[in-house]
Copies of this chain bind each other. A is one copy, B any other.
Amino acid sequence: MKNSQLYKGSLNTIIMKLLEEQGRMYGYEITQKVKEITKGELNITEGALYPALHKLEAEGLLDVEVEKVDNRLRKYYKLTEKGATETVNRLAELEEFIKNMQTIVNPKLSY
């Protein structure tokens, strides 16, 4: 990812959320999309991304379609049915996580 180790553990959720929103994406596209959304702050490294995609596929949460565009290979990923269900859970967990972290950072705002 980047310097801040806070992103550790959030990569799978990020991937799944983007796929839920975009329908289907290929690896490189995901890295660019995240960079764009976070204004360059979060850079997903290939060494983290590709193994993560492979694992999600192995778990049956993603499906792959290989296509050749401009003579270059692209592997398009999309959520399976199981993956879509799981995404809902992960996003709920993420919201809880964010809420908890905000409570820790700013205890005065939570009541």
Contact = CB atoms under 8 A, between A and B. Distances in A.
A contact face: mostly helix, strand, loop, or mixed: helix
A65 B13 CA distance: 40
Interface of A: 4-10, 13-14, 17-18, 21, 34, 37-38, 41-42, 91, 93-98, 100-105, 107
Contacts of A9: 4-9
A10 B14 CA distance: 17
26 contacts: A4-B9, A4-B93, A5-B9, A6-B10, A6-B13, A6-B93, A6-B97, A7-B97, A8-B8, A9-B9, A10-B101, A14-B104, A17-B104, A17-B105, A18-B104, A34-B104, A37-B100, A37-B104, A38-B100, A41-B96, A41-B100, A42-B100, A94-B101, A94-B105, A95-B105, A98-B102
